[in-house]
A and B are shown apart, each in its own frame.
Chain A
Amino acid sequence: MVVILVVTYSRAARQALRNACRAHEDAVVRRFGRVALLEATAFGAFLGLRLRERHGGDVQLERTTPLNEFEDAFADAREAAVAYEDRESVSTPYAKFAKERDLPSKDRLREQEL
C-alpha cells in the first residue's frame, strides 16, 4: 500500500499536523511525533498539501511504497542482511564478515542504485 509521508520541521507545522491527524483519524495510517503516514487518497494528499501550503518548506511530503525484499533489486542486500544477522560472533564487523563469505562489500552495496 502506497502512503503519503509527512514530516514537519517547525513547532507550528508539527502542531498543525497533530491537529489534522486528530481531526481526521480515518485518513491517518500512523503518526510518530512530528511525522505521519497518511492514506494515499486525494483526501490524504489534501491534508498534506494544506500543511505544505501553510507551512511551506517546514513540511516535507513524500509518496512512499512498501519495500518487498524478495524483489530482485533487493537480492544482494537481503542475502547480506540475513547472513550477517545470523553470524555467530556479534562483534564481527561486516567488512570482515563479507570478505570471508563472498558477500558484497559495504561500498558495493552503496554503489548499487535500486
Chain B
Amino acid sequence: MRVAYGAASWSGRALDLRDVAVSVRALAAGVRATGSVVVDEGRELRVHCEPPGRVFEHVGVVSPGAAVDVRAALAAVAWSREESVDGVEALAAAREELAAVEVPEVDVSAARERVAEARAAAEAVTADVAAARGAVQAREDLDADVDAGRERLRAAVADASERETELVAAEQALARERELAREARDVRERRLSLADRVGRLEREVRANRVATTWSAFRDAVVAVPGGSLDDVDAEPGSFAGDDATAALAAVRVANVTTPVVVGIDRFDDAETAHQVLDAPVVLAAD
C-alpha cells in the first residue's frame, strides 16, 4: 500500500502512522476510496491499496469504538478463504429462481374506483327519477298539465338507464381485473416462498461458514494480543471477548490483501502487527 498525507508519503505492507496526526477514520475512508483523495484536518490523504471487500467491512477497522458482529465477520472470513460450505449452490440456484419470477402488472384499484363512482352516480339519479315520477303523479291527480313533468321524467329515466349501463360495465371490468389479480397472486405467493427459501439458505450458509472457521478463530484468539481462550465457546459464533480481539482474530484467519487500519494500542510496532495479523497493516493513533 501507499499512503500520501499532505507532503509526506509512506509505502509498504506495515506502516506505523501513530506519530502522524492522521486519524483512524480518515485512513479507513482513504482505504474505502482507494486511489481518491479524502480530506482530513484540511490535509489531503490518498491511500493506494487493494480495494476493500467483505472482510474489511466487518473487521477492516480495529478501533476502541468499533462493534464487531462475530458471526457476520466469520462468514465473510470463510468467504475470503474460499471455504466450500454446504448450501452455497442451493442458495445461488434459489436466488436465481427468485430473480426470474415476474409478477404480472394488474391495476385493480382503477377498476375499483370506477365501480364506486358508477354506483354513486346510479344511486344519485334514482332519487331524481322518483321525484320526477312523484311530480307527474301529483299533476295528474290535479288534472293539470303534465307535459313538462313527463319530459323531466323521461330525461331522468334515460339518465338512470345510462348510468346503470355504466355500472354494469364497470362491474364487469372489475371482475376481469380481480380474476387477473388472483392469478398474479399465485405468482406473488411463489415469489414469497422463494424469498423465504433464500432467507433460510442464507442463514444456513452463514452458520456453515461460521462453523467452518470456528476452530481457526479459536486458535487466532490466543495468538492475537489481548485474547483469551476462556472467551471462546465450543458453540460456533459464541464469543465473550471484546470487539477488538474478535476483529484481530478474524483478520488473522481471513485471507486479506486490503490493509487493516488498527487504532488500538496492542502492538509494539507495525511489523509485529503485520506478522500477527498476516495482513497489510497501518497503525494509527485513535
B partners with A: yes
Q: Which residues of A contact B (CB under 8 A)?
A: 9-11, 14, 34, 57-58, 60
Residue of B nearest to A11 (CB): B195
User: Is the CB of B154 closer than 8 A to any CB of chain A?
Assistant: no
Instruction: Count B-side interface residues using an 8 Å CB cutoff.
Output: 12
Contact between chains at A10 and B106 (CB < 8 Å): no
* Residue among A10, A57, A60 making CB contact with B195, cutoff 8 Å: A10
- A10-B192 CB under 8 A given contacts A57-B103, A57-B106: yes
- A60-B185 CB under 8 A given contacts A9-B192, A10-B191, A11-B192: yes
User: Is the CB of B184 closer than 8 A to any CB of chain A?
Assistant: yes
CB neighbours of A60 from chain B (8 A): 181, 185
A-B contact count (CB 8 A): 24
CB neighbours of A14 from chain B (8 A): 192
A-B contacts, 24 listed (Cβ < 8 Å): A9-B185, A9-B188, A9-B189, A9-B191, A9-B192, A10-B188, A10-B191, A10-B192, A10-B195, A11-B192, A11-B195, A11-B196, A11-B199, A14-B192, A34-B192, A57-B103, A57-B106, A57-B181, A57-B184, A57-B185, A57-B188, A58-B188, A60-B181, A60-B185
Q: How far, in angstroms, from A14 to B199 measured CA to CA in the complex? A: 14
Q: Which residues of B contact A (CB under 8 A)?
A: 103, 106, 181, 184-185, 188-189, 191-192, 195-196, 199
Residue of B nearest to A13 (CB): B192
Q: How far, in angstroms, from A10 to B198 measured CA to CA in the complex? A: 13
CB distance from B175 to the nearest CB of A (A): 13
